[in-house]
């Protein structure tokens, strides 16, 4: 199992369905009757904290928080290439500090999205 630490850059692969996949869509496949498409989108997040039970609290570029199990198969460390060439997609240290100074991003004031389930 991969070890994660606060401040680590991670990539979380989300499955999406829509009639018009965006430019970051990967592995685009049409539905059986062709009305929609099934595809993946990589989300570039940063580890905010690691719980003793193996749950990671991740933060997005805009400050939204997600809780993900450390052993989720959709979660992985960012590669050196991603850290270098896609650095603008990861949250900055300011995202963490702004949220705590404004009273945001604390467990009692923010609804934390819990992501569960496996790949489809």
pLDDT digits (tens, 9 = 90+) for 22-76: 999 999 999 888 899 999 999 999 999 999 998 999 999 988 999 999 999 999 9
Q: Is residue 111 part of a domain?
A: no
Query: Does 91 have pLDDT greater than 60?
Result: yes
Q: Is residue 24 part of a domain?
A: yes
Q: Is the dihedral of CA 39, 89, 92, 97 positive or negative?
A: negative
Query: Does 114 have pLDDT greater than 80?
Result: no
Q: How many domains does the chain have?
A: 1
Q: Is residue 33 part of a domain?
A: yes
Phi, psi dihedrals of residue 81, rounded to the nearest 5°: -60, -45
Q: Is residue 17 part of a domain?
A: yes
- Do β-strands 55-59 and 65-69 pair in parallel, antiparallel, or remain unpaired? antiparallel
Query: Does 102 have pLDDT greater than 70?
Result: no
pTM across the whole model = 0.75
Is 88 buried (19+), middle (13-18) or exposed (0-12) by CB count in 10 A? exposed
What range defines the domain where residue 29 resides?
A: 9-101
Q: For residue 108, what pLDDT is reported? A: 36
């Amino acid at each position: 199992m991969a070890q994660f630490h606060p401040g680590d850059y991670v990539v979380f692969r989300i499955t999406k369905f829509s009639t018009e996949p965006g430019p970051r869509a990967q592995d685009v496949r049409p539905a059986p009757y062709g009305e929609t498409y099934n595809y993946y989108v990589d989300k570039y997040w940063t580890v905010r904290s690691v719980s003793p039970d193996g749950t990671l609290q991740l933060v997005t570029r805009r400050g939204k928080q997600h809780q993900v199990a450390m052993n989720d198969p959709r979660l992985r460390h960012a590669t050196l290439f991603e850290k270098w060439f896609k650095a603008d997609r990861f949250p900055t240290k300011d995202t963490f500090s702004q949220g705590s100074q404004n009273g945001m991003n604390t467990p009692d004031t923010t609804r934390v999205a819990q992501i569960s389930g496996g790949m489809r």
